[in-house]
Amino acid sequence: MWRFRLKLMPYRQCVGLSLISMVCVVSVWLLWVARGQAEDAAVTVEIASTPSLEHLRPPMNLARVTLMALLHGKPLSQGHMKVQLTAPPRTIVLATDLPRVEGTPLLAFDSELIDGSVTLQYRFPIRGTYTFDLEMTPVPGGPVFPPTNLRQTVRVSEKPVMIQQLWLPVVGLFVLGVITGVLVARFAGTRAKLQSQAIVGLLGLCYSLLVPVNTVSAHPGHSHGADHAAQGHQVIRGDDGWELEIHTSPEPATVRYPVQLDLWLRKDGTVFPDMTAVSIAATNLEAAQTVVETHILARQGQTTQSLQLYDGGLHTIAVTVRPVGGAANGWVPPTAMLNIDVVALYPPLDVQIRMIAIVLGVLGLGMAVGFCVTRLALRPRL
């Protein structure tokens, strides 16, 4: 009969082998994670502005913004970039000059990369932290890297003069409340009806003076009838079979909602299949200011961009589309001009309520201080 003897391993050796196995597993996992993070960090994007972000003040300065894509620290020679810009989120206390714009999409476009950079000019509308959502993908014949999604934020501060202009009415309102409180304390019980009417009048006056500082009035827009509708769709035909078609939506344009531009460059009735340069410039005619200007490279003669016209009034959008290289054969592409009347909206109800509460709170605090100080001063001394 065969007998088998099972020789057990000592306890210390079992513990040692278990620890070694755990260390090996953890080491392999850390190496895998580090490798994955290194691949994810292979593509980065740097954002630069002229003037610099520290000196940029909305909506005074037109900034020249450069998005530089880097692969392992060097400019990405070829690739594809999608860009989406979002406005700062809703403020908690003091509203911005354009509360309807807060937290809304401002720009969305994509471009082929040559030497890694995309440049645009933009007039930032309000103070706060803006968000750039970027998507980088490789293209055939270019460097190989994993598709990468990045989120970058830039901070735009308020102009010091605007801050002073904001606080001056608040201080003036507090002083006016103090004066009203003093008058109420001195003449309490003698002219109650007249005082109450005066207080109500002061409240109405202060509200009408302070609230417009942080709100924007609504512009109903101008009705152009058939001419306005025709501006939303244009077809420009050139020599040698070239054709440019532009379509905008929605109609009419409204603050808070982006305007989408669909562009087609055709040659002999067919969409141009090669690289195309697209330039778009939006101008506020009433303020005579450029709102945004983009220069992108489309993979072919069809592209879509969207931009928000964040101020009410008449705007014009200039669009130029041309083939890259010698495909044009001397053809000079025309510039299409689109007239868009933008409808502005009243501030949201919660913003109006918040501003009324601030006005009444500052005025009430001033009245309480003036009343209490005066009554203490007039109290008979024992």
DSSP conformational letter for 286: T
Cβ(76)–Cβ(116) under 8 Å? yes
Distance (Å, whole) CA 316 – CA 327? 29
* Degrees, nearest 5: CA angle 234-241-318: 35
Cβ(355)–Cβ(206) under 8 Å? no
Residue 242 burial by Cβ neighbours in a 10 Å radius (0-12, 13-18, 19+): buried
Distance (Å, whole) CA 177 – CA 164? 20
pLDDT at res. 382: 47
Distance (Å, whole) CA 346 – CA 163? 23
Q: Where are the alpha helices (DSSP H) in the chain?
A: 11-40, 160-186, 192-210, 226-231, 349-378
DSSP conformational letter for 213: G
Query: Amino acid letter at 280?
Result: I
87 contact partners, CB below 8 Å, separation of at least 6: 101, 102, 103, 104, 105, 106, 125, 126, 128, 130, 310
pLDDT at res. 53: 82
pLDDT at res. 359: 74
* Residues β-bridged to residue 66: 48, 119
pLDDT at res. 278: 95
Question: How far, in Å, are 85, 144, 199, 237, 364 from residue 359 at the CA level?
Answer: 33, 58, 14, 58, 8
Distance (Å, whole) CA 167 – CA 280? 38
pLDDT at res. 208: 55
Distance (Å, whole) CA 11 – CA 9? 6
Residues of the chain with pLDDT under 50: 1-9, 11, 15, 23, 26, 28-40, 161, 189, 210-230, 382
Architecture of domain 233-343: Sandwich (2.60)
Instruction: Give me the residue label for tokens 């601030």.
Output: 358
Cβ(101)–Cβ(125) under 8 Å? yes
Q: List phi, psi (to 5°) of 11.
A: -60, -40
Strands (E), 51-171: 63-71, 74-75, 78-86, 105-114, 117-122, 128-137, 148-156
Where do the domains of the chain lie? 42-158, 161-217+347-378, 233-343
Question: How far, in Å, are 95, 169, 221, 306, 328 from residue 206 at the CA level?
Answer: 18, 9, 29, 40, 63
pLDDT at res. 195: 54
Cβ(243)–Cβ(237) under 8 Å? yes
Domain 42-158 and domain 233-343, same fold? Reply is yes
Instruction: Give me the residue label for tokens 């972000």.
Output: 53
Q: Tell me if the pTM is above 0.85.
A: no
Q: List phi, psi (to 5°) of 204.
A: -65, -40
Question: How far, in Å, are 51, 64, 67, 154, 178 from residue 48 at the CA level?
Answer: 9, 8, 7, 10, 48
Judge: domain 42-158, CATH 3.40.50.12780: no
Cβ(179)–Cβ(198) under 8 Å? no
Q: What is the residue-wise DSSP string for 188-207?
A: TTTSHHHHHHHHHHHHHHHH
pLDDT at res. 212: 45
pLDDT at res. 17: 54
